[in-house]
Structures are given as C-alpha cells and as structure tokens.
Chains A and B, each alone.
Chain A
Amino acid sequence: MKVRSSVFASFILISEVVGIALFLRGFFPAPVRSSLSSKSKLSDLPSEPLTGSSPNASRLPPPLFKRVVVMLVDALREDFVFGPGGRRYMPYTRHVVERGSSQSFVAKARPPTVTMPRIKALTTGSIPGFIDVVMNLNSPALLEDNLIWQAKTAGKRIVFYGDDTWVRLFPKHFMEYDGTTSFFVSDYTEVDNNVTRHLDSTLKRDDWDILILHYLGLDHIGHISGPHSSLIQPKLLEMDDILKKIHSALISKEAEGSLPYLLVLCGDHGMSETGSHGGSSEPEVNTPLVLISPAFKRKVGLEKPEVVEQVDLTPTLALGLGLPISQNSVGHVIPGVLEESSLRDQLRFLHLNGHQLSCLLKDSMPDYEKEAGFEQFRVAEKAHGSWMKLYLEGNTSEVLTNMGKKVLKQYLEALAAMSSALSKQLGKYDMYSMIAGMVFVFQLLLVLLLAMPEALSGEAAVDLPVLSVLLSLPFYLLCLLLASVHVLVCTSAESSCYFCSLSWGLVFAAVAFSSAMFCILVSMATRRLPLGPKIHGKSPLRSSGSEWSLSELDVLLLAGTVGHTLSLAASSFVEEEHQTWYFLLNTLCLAVFQDVCRKYFREQRGSGDEEEHILPSKDCHPTAHPKAEICSEKWLALATPPFTLVCCRLLRSLNQTGVQWAHLPDVGHWLNSSEHRMVLSLLAAFCLVLIYLLVQRRCSWVSKVALALGLLGVYSYRAAVGNVWFPWQHSGRTMSKGTVEARFVYVFVLGILFTGTKDLLRSQIITADAKLKSRGLWEIYSGLVLLVSLLFRAHNLPVLCCSLLIQTLMAQFIWKELHYDAAQTTIMHYWFGQAFFYFQGNSNNIATVDISVGFIGLESYIEAPAIFLTALSTYAGPLLWACHLVCYLSSERDKSPVAVGHGCYCLALLRSVPAAAYIVLVTVLRYHLFIWSVFSPKLLYESMHLLLTAGVCLFFYTMEQSHSSIGVVAVTHLDRDNLSVD
C-alpha cells in the first residue's frame, strides 16, 4: 500500500501519542485511594481493644480542643520563622515558639509545591498525585473524604477567609466565608486586607468552632521579587501582628473549665531562592508548623524543631477535634500534641489512627499482610487490649504505666511504618503499561526511520506492505504470542496494572496493531538491506542514491538533533534546556552566515578581482539598476544572520528561565515594574505596529482591516488590565478584567480565520489557484498571530515581533536564495521554534505555565477554552514556526511539489526521536532523586508537544491533500490494485 509521506507521518505521530498516553498512565501512579467511595463515619469506628470481654465503647475520646484557628500563610518558608532572621521578621511568633506553650515543627510538603494540591493534602491527608496538578487547573469541589466535611458533618461551624480556592473546593461547607482571588499577582496588600478586615468582628463572636485564614500576600511578593526583597519584612511583620491579635483574642476568651483553644500557623509550601515554587528543593518543601495552645507545656528555649510530614497535621487536627480521620489520610498523628492527655486516651487516639491506616493499607496493597507496619500494628493492638484489661481492673501500679508506655511506642513505630509504606506506594510504577507503551513508540519510530529514503524521495510516498503482512503467517503467530504474553503477565501480576484492566477488545486491537507493525518493520528492513547496505541505521538527511555528502550545515543539524536528545539524560541539561537550544541556534546562525559568505564571496572571486580588499561598492557602482538590486540583496542576505543573532541575544535577556540563573535580573522584570510602565507601553505599541506591518503584506484587504482593529484591541485589552498606559486615560481607572476588549479581539481572530478558510476552500473547490491558496494559508497564520499577541504578556510582545521579523528575513534572503531543501528548512524551523518556546519565558518546570491566560476574555473559569488558550500561549513559539513552515513550503511548491510532504515527515521524525528517547531515559532513571521535580514535568511537556505536533502534521496533510493533483491519487489506486492482484 502506497501512502504519501504526510499521511504516513501523521498516522505514525497519532499512534505514538496513543503509545505515550499508555506510558504516562503507567508512569504517573494513581493516588492511593480507598476503594470505598464513602466517607468515614463515627459509627464505623473500631471499638477500644480489650481482651477477654466484649468491646465496650466505640466512642471517640473527648476532643482536646474547643476552638481551632488555622492561619495559613501562602509560601511561608521555614526559615522565615525558625531561621536566624525569624527574630526580626516575626518577633511575636518567635517569642511564643521559644517561651510560650507551643509546639513547633518543620512540616515537609510533598512536591508539586503548588497551592491547590497542598490544600488538598492538608484537608484530606492524602498526597495528591503529580498528575492532579495538571488535571485540576480548575478546582472543582473536593469529593474525597476530608477534614472540612467531617467537621461540618459533626456540626462544627467553620468560618473561612482567604484564597477562594478553598471556597471552590468546599462549596457550602463554610458558615461564613469571603474568598479573595489571586488573580493579580502584582497586588500584595489588598488580598491580605480583604482577609484581615473580618478578623476583629469574628474574633469577638462566639458562634464558630473553626476559623481558617489563608493569606496570599507573601506568595505574591515572592513571585514579584523573591525571598530577599525588601517587601518581605513588612509583610511578615504584618502576619506577626495578625497572629498576635488572634492569640490575645483567644487568650481573653478562654474560660476556666472549658476546653482549650488551638492556634495553628502553617504554610502550604515554601519559596525557592528565586521566589517561585512548584519544585522539590529544600526551601520550597520546608514549611513551619507552629501549634499554640495552653494545653501544651511551656517552652524554655529554642529547640531545633522536629521534622514531620505536612499530611500529619490532618489526623492530628481530626483527633484533636474529636472527628474521625478521613479515609485516605496517609499521615500519622503528631505525638507531641497528645502528650498532656491521659495514657488511655493517648493509646486510643493512636489506635484509631492505626486502624484507619491499616484499612487504607488493606485497600491499596494486595500483599498488605507482609508489610512490617501492619504486623507491628496487630501486635500493638493486642498489647493494647491486654493493657486495657488490666487498666479496667483497676490496676494502677508502675508496671501498668510502663506497659502502657511500651504499647505507645509500639503504636508509634507501627504508624510510622505504615505511613511510609503508603507514601512509597505512590512511587510505584506500573511497569507493564510503561513497557507496552514504550514498545509501541519504538516500533513506530523504527518504521519511521526505515521509511526515510522513500519518504524523502522525489515521490514522497512510502510503500507499506500492509496487505501482504496481514495475510502472512508470522503475523498471526505473533498475535498469538503477544496475546499469551499479555494473559501470562496479567494473571501473575501482583500489583494493579492499567493495561490489564483495559477491555479485551482494546487489548486485542493493540496486540494486532503491534504485531502488524513488527511484521511491517521486518519486511521493510529486509527490503532495505539488499538495496543499499550503505544507507543503514541513522540514515542521511538527503540520501541520493548510494553516495551522499554532508555539508557542514547538515553535520551540524544532525549532530545538534542527536546531541540534544542525548543531553536529556542529565538533570541539569533538562533544567537548563533553553541553554542547549540557544547554543544550537547560535551555531546554526553562524553556520548559515558562513554559507551566505561563501555564496557571495565565491562569486566575486569568479568575477576575477585579485585585489586585496573586496569593497562591494566597487562593483556596484558602475552597473545599472539590476546589479544594484543584486548588490543590496547581497548585503541584506549577509546582514540577516548577524541580525538574527542579535535578536536572539536580546530575547535571551528578556526572560531568564531555568533554575541556576533564573534569579538574575532580566529585562522582563524591569519592564513590568510600575515605574517603567511608560517604556513598556511604548514597546508594546511599537511591537504591535511592527507585527501589523510584517503580517499584512500578504493578506486580503478585509483581513488587513480586521488585523489592524484586532491589534488595536490587543493594546486596549492590555491597557484595561493595567499593564500599559492608555494615551487618553486621565484618571487612574480601576483595573478590570478586560473581558470586553478581549472578546472584541476574539471576534477579529475568528473573522480572519474564517476568511482564510474560505479562501482555502475556494482555491480547492472552485479554482486551483495557488495564489489564493497561499493567501488563505497566510490569513490563517495571521489569525494565529493575532490570537497569540492577545495572549502574550505585554513584555513578551517583542518575542512575537522578532519571530515574525526573523521569519520574513530568513524566508526572503536565506532559505530561498541558498536553495536549502525541505528537510534542512524544517530542521531550522524546528530549532527556532524550540528556542522561541524558551524565549517567551517557558522552562521545563510546571510553575512557568501561565495559567492566567486561560481567563482572558472569560468571566469565570470554563475548562475547555481555558486549557486551549493556556496550551496555545505556552506552545506559541513552536506552533508559529510550524505554521510558518507550512506557509513557506507550500509557497515553494512550484519549485519542489513534494516539499510539504518532506517537511511533514521531517517534523514527525524530529519530534518522535527525542520523545521516544526520553521515555526510555525516564524509565531508566525512575529511581533518580530528581524524577518528580525535573524529569516528570519534562515528560509532560514532551508528550504535550508530541500531541501538538501530531495536530500540526494533520494540518500539513490537509494542505498537501488539497493540492495533490488527481494523478497521484490515481497512481496510488493503481498501485493498490496491482498489489491486490499480486
């Protein structure tokens, strides 16, 4: 069966996406969940163990605290309180920590250190999987069993002020609430004042049991200017004052005889040295946890705070309030909190916690009985029972106390062991699914590689022996073999496996597909071998027959692609991947520069001037107009690579990304500071004008007008949001969300896209007009540019502008003039696209994804458009370059009709090689220290990019299809007929 390169490439990419999806499902473990979807109830609680007699009471011991105030300060780092600067930053808190009746801990947060998963962790006690962050950009109501639900069900009255993520997670749970949005990161006073303004009246009242405060200001300051900024100290002092206020109010309210209060100061995550968070570095993970209550012993000096897990707070609070521990909680109660209660109660608390953990362990592990912690818990429970028996008999001797202490110790050990076993469960990989996905991807990649000589030939069609394979014996044997392997693996697997849980039909389809691919692979390889043993393995870019010579540029392009793929094995190179791309891009520009120099200076030598100096003006002067034009063109061509280099250097300093040098000041921050708003406004306006000038050349007049109005709309949107000045804006208007302006732009984007599609369809159906077609394509491209210019932050507009400028210049003077073929042009486009991905401030860290883009033009969060807009703005660089590639290659069609097919094939190859290599690397490095912080985010980026490239390849395919003459189709049909006759 003969298929065209573009069809082939798109098909392979789409199948690879499926393979990678399977791999991802195996790689990111499903979070530990109890199989029961119900929630813990008071009535389900186990009774107090007691040997010999029937269980007496299944009641909980009385709560330890009457009222709880949780003061959560976003991004509160451990050293802000316990560090050497703590005395300066938070004097009152520090005094309480050192002298007051308090308990202080360093609570370790699990990565991803992002607010929403942290809130989930604090309330449910479970550790949200990595994938939760991506799946839940939106925060819908939390349905899992959680502390807030338990409290509400038990009739506790909860008041909440702060980040409205809570309100969205727990709708209708709070008696009273006021959510503040963290929409404008630049605002760090208003968000906190909105919380504090309710405080005085609430503290005076008596009608609540739990008060939760979530302060966002510190996090915003971190994002703006980092942990060492001068804004930090006043903010921490403000927090300290609030804590003092709450503490004194609680003390004054305290009545004799009633239960004591508990004041909790904690952070959801820390803040890295650059002020961001999301990763797993020490300062991001370590947060302070200070529990203040008269129930604790007074401290006599600063001790080094003990390290606990962040999720340990959940069972502690639950038991402290007399609530059942939520089902999926993996934490264990902090023993220090229980110290002052009676030994019986202490044991009872630990027993409850242990029972809950053992239930969870039973649910999530098939061989839970072998687990050491589970065994210890059984032993401890028995010992507890006999202790209870002695206790109830009225024994009060020293022996009993010692025995109780021993049971306590046993319980604590069991709890710690079970808790760590459950946490480890999170790090378990579903190897079978991973391997299956990997095998898929590799088969496809090998087929792609083997098809290279055919796909890049003049015909641009690949001959896939599908029919002959489907009728061959090895195919059926292989099917049988794989199916039996599948059954064998699935029946003997001890842990749960996603691939095994798929339905039989799907699995059989996968098995048939995989064996067909394998047979195709073998038959293609045997066909290739006798034909030319020279073209083997990583074959050349342009193998013309048996001899192929590579120019320096080809060597660079190949070495760069391979080198970049290899560099992904080192965590530093993944963190600093932008450096790799900038470096390669620079070298590419220099290599192109050398090519240009060669072209123009060799000609001159041919013309035979022997003189030492080669002033171009000399041979320009005597001749008339055409020669002068050639001359100016020559100088423009010579100037293009250096100009590109300068552009890249400037863009590079616009956004510092990565990890090591991310803290360095960059132009983007400088532009965004309020005193430079004038400069930013001028720059944005200039860029928008330049974008207009660059894009409008090849549009119809309707699109020109739409584009101009759209770009005007972009500027007014930025002005409405408050990023840039409006020339005729007199009074300081309040910031709005700019919904109207953004929608105005969307209308024009849709209009331009519609015009473009119309032109394309017309060129296809009515007239086979190449001009109309290229105009239509360009209009689609300009619609995309307009949309991206709306989504980009104001300081990123130069990135867009430079990319357009470089594209125009390169297309005009380099790619056309130097006769680079489709493969070379594609690789260059790909490299530029990658570099621009990082120029716009992205990195391989989830934290740099700008989620606020998803809200542009929307009143509230709507999932589908928000995800679409976020993905578009994140991958704007690669997408724009890929689109430009389509435009460029189809405009070059008259020179080489198969260019689009070649481009599509090369793009598919360029994307699948690193993706396939990367999943192998990740599998090999799955026990690496940085697997969750560095390698997994990159894996998500890679898969997302693969998905987008598959989309782009489909676009290529439609573009090629619309143009392919009926002749090619007829030939294909003929071939197929021949095959079937054979």
Chain B
Amino acid sequence: MWDHEIRAMASTHAIIAASVFMATVLPAVFVPGFSVYGTHLLWLYSASGAVTVVSVAVFWLLGITPPAKKHTLGYKLSRLLRSCLYFFLSCLFFHAVVVLYGAPLIEYALETFSLAVLLTSLTTLRCLCVLGPNVQAWIRVFSRHGAMSVWDTCLQITVACTVVGAWVGAFPIPLDWDRPWQVWPVSCSLGAMIGFLTGLVAAPAWIHYHRKQLTYKCK
C-alpha cells in the first residue's frame, strides 16, 4: 500500500533537504564572511529561496499539484497570481503572529518579516504546491480527520513540525547566556528549519510504519 507514493515522497524530501544543505554551503564558498549567525538574513533568504524553487520544481515535475480545471492560459495565470497573493498574505499573517508573540513592532521589523518569509516558504508554499490556491482544501486538510491522501498526511506532519520547531526555538530567548544564536530571530528560524528537516524525515517514516492503518476516504 502506498509504496510508490512513499518512495516518491522520500526522494522529494531528500531533494529538498539537499537544497537546504546547498543553500547553506554554497554561499559560504562564494560569499566572503558568510555564516549562519553572522549574516543570518542572507542565509535565511538563500535557504527559503532554495526551498521555494526546489519545491515548486519538484512538485510540478511529479505532478502532485491538482490539475487545473480549465486549460486556458488566463486561468493558469490567475492561479499563479492567486498563489503569489496567498504567499504574500501568509507572510503578513506569520509576521502578525510573531509580533503578537512579543516581537518588537518597529525595531526588528525586517528580521521579523524575514522569519515570516522563511516560515511561509516552509509551510504555505508546500500547501500551495500540493493543494493549489484552494482555501477549502486547506481547511479540509487541517481539520481533524481531513487527510485524503498520503500527501495530505505528509503535509500535516511537515507543517506541524515546522511550526512547533519555530515555537520551541523561542524558548532560549529569555536565557541570559549572550550566545550568538540567541539574537532575534536566529533561534526561531533555526528551530523552524530543524523542525522542517525533521518533518521531512519523519513524514515518510511515519507513513511507512503506519501504512497498514492508513485509510483514506475518497473524494
């Protein structure tokens, strides 16, 4: 059951994880003075850019993205535009949530927004890739027993891992250790990235071990 999907998922995730790795290593070679802590924003954008590009490409190639109902160019364009709009809205949403959690409103606005961009590219972008700009489907996937395919379950796991990772990443901020990774937003973005990578590993593994129990009602 689901063997084919699990294999596809594992390889996809391997590619995405590799892209994150490359996004960390390559700038270190080409940009002088690059480090994850020191030039954190640069790392952050390179990682989220790499994840964005690779996910879009991989999911498009795999054909998981739900097929467009109409094949006109205009419809496709509007879908693309809507996706971009959702992407941007999600950035704003994450930014708002992080500010509500206590991030300074004005002082570190750029840092906070960068974190929001990272979180968006790790979570919302996957949703866009797998489900398309379809809010109804999103609500379905994220309600209690709403998963309808292996990919939905995988989406649930990775998104939850990423968000929990970022959440856990905020824990060490009040400690007075004065470490470089306690600077805002390093711990949170690292937490999110580690959570995401964990999710990438955990999702196929979990599905593999529970493949007997998994039953999905069809649409």
Contact = CB atoms under 8 A, between A and B. Distances in A.
Contact of B174 (A579, A590, A597): A579
Interface string A582-609: 1100110010000001100110010000
A602 B100 CA distance: 27
A572 interface: yes
B136 A583 contact: no
A614 interface: yes
A660 B172 CA distance: 13
Interface stretch (A121-129, A644-652, A781-789, A968-976): A644-652
A601 B143 contact: yes
Of listed B136, B167, B170, residue having the most chain A CB within 10 A: B136
B176 interface: yes
A199 B198 CA distance: 73
A613 interface: yes
B140 interface: yes
A614 B139 CA distance: 10
B175 interface: yes
A570 B171 CA distance: 12
Interface string B138-182: 011001100000000000000000000001001001111100000
A572 B176 contact: yes
B101 A601 contact: no
B102 A583 contact: yes
B175 A602 contact: no
A583 B174 CA distance: 11
Contacts of A612: 134-136
A659 B176 CA distance: 10
Contact of A573 (B134, B167, B170, B174): B174
A192 interface: no
B175 A573 contact: yes
B143 A598 contact: yes
B143 A652 contact: no
A582 B101 CA distance: 8
Nearest to B103: A649
Contacts of A645: 100
Interface string A489-530: 000000000000000000000000000000000000000000
A660 B174 contact: yes
A610 interface: yes
A649 B143 contact: no
B144 A582 contact: no
B136 A611 contact: yes
Nearest to A567: B171
B214 interface: no
A649 B99 contact: yes
B174 A587 contact: no
Contact of A652 (B97, B102, B174): B102
A649 B139 contact: no
B167 A587 contact: yes
A587 B170 CA distance: 12
Nearest to A579: B174
A646 B96 CA distance: 10
A679 B207 CA distance: 59
A576 interface: yes
Given A601-B139, A612-B136, A614-B135, A590 B102 contact: no
B134 A586 contact: no
B25 to A, nearest CB: 33
A645 B101 CA distance: 8
Given A583-B102, A586-B100, A646-B100, A613 B174 contact: no
A570 B175 contact: yes
A918 B175 CA distance: 19
A572 B140 contact: no
A579 B143 contact: no
Interface residues of B, number: 19
Interface string A618-660: 0000000000000000000000000001101100100000111
Interface residues of A, number: 30
Contacts of A590: 97
Nearest to A604: B139
Interface in B60-109: 97, 99-102
Contact of B135 (A572, A602, A613, A659): A613
B72 to A, nearest CB: 17
B46 to A, nearest CB: 29
Contacts of A572: 174-177
Nearest to B175: A572
A525 B167 CA distance: 37
B174 A576 contact: yes
B176 A660 contact: yes
A634 to B, nearest CB: 15
Contacts of A649: 99-100, 102
A732 B33 CA distance: 62
B176 A586 contact: no
Contacts of B100: 586, 645-646, 648-649
A613 B82 CA distance: 12
A831 to B, nearest CB: 15
Contacts of B177: 572
Nearest to B137: A612
Contacts of A605: 136, 139-140, 143
Given A586-B100, A586-B101, A614 B174 contact: no
A579 B167 CA distance: 13
A580 B176 CA distance: 14
A577 to B, nearest CB: 9
A598 B143 CA distance: 6
A640 to B, nearest CB: 14
Contacts of A586: 100-102
A251 B11 CA distance: 91
Contacts of B135: 612-614
Nearest to B133: A612
Contacts of A611: 136
A614 B138 CA distance: 12
Nearest to A573: B174
A582 B136 CA distance: 32
Given A612-B135, A649-B102, A583 B143 contact: no
Contacts of A587: 167
A610 B139 CA distance: 12
A329 B135 CA distance: 75
Contacts of B99: 649
A579 B176 CA distance: 13
Given A579-B174, A583-B170, A660-B174, A610 B136 contact: yes
Interface in A401-434: none
A614 B97 contact: no
Contacts of A583: 101-102, 170
A935 B86 CA distance: 48
Contacts of A573: 174-175
A188 to B, nearest CB: 30
Nearest to A599: B143
A605 B145 CA distance: 13
A611 B139 CA distance: 12
B152 to A, nearest CB: 15
B102 A579 contact: yes
A579 B101 CA distance: 10
A614 B136 contact: yes
A283 to B, nearest CB: 16
A695 to B, nearest CB: 27
A365 B19 CA distance: 70
Of listed B100, B176, B177, residue having the most chain A CB within 10 A: B100
Interface in A541-580: 570, 572-573, 575-576, 579-580
B199 to A, nearest CB: 17
15 contacts: A572-B174, A572-B175, A572-B176, A573-B174, A579-B102, A580-B174, A582-B102, A590-B97, A601-B143, A602-B143, A611-B136, A612-B136, A613-B136, A645-B100, A652-B102
Given A572-B175, A605-B136, 6 more contacts: A598-B143, A602-B143, A605-B143, A612-B134, A613-B135, A648-B100
Interface of B: 97, 99-102, 134-136, 139-140, 143-144, 167, 170, 173-177
Which 4 residue pairs spanning A and B have beta carbons closest together?
A576-B174, A572-B175, A645-B100, A579-B174
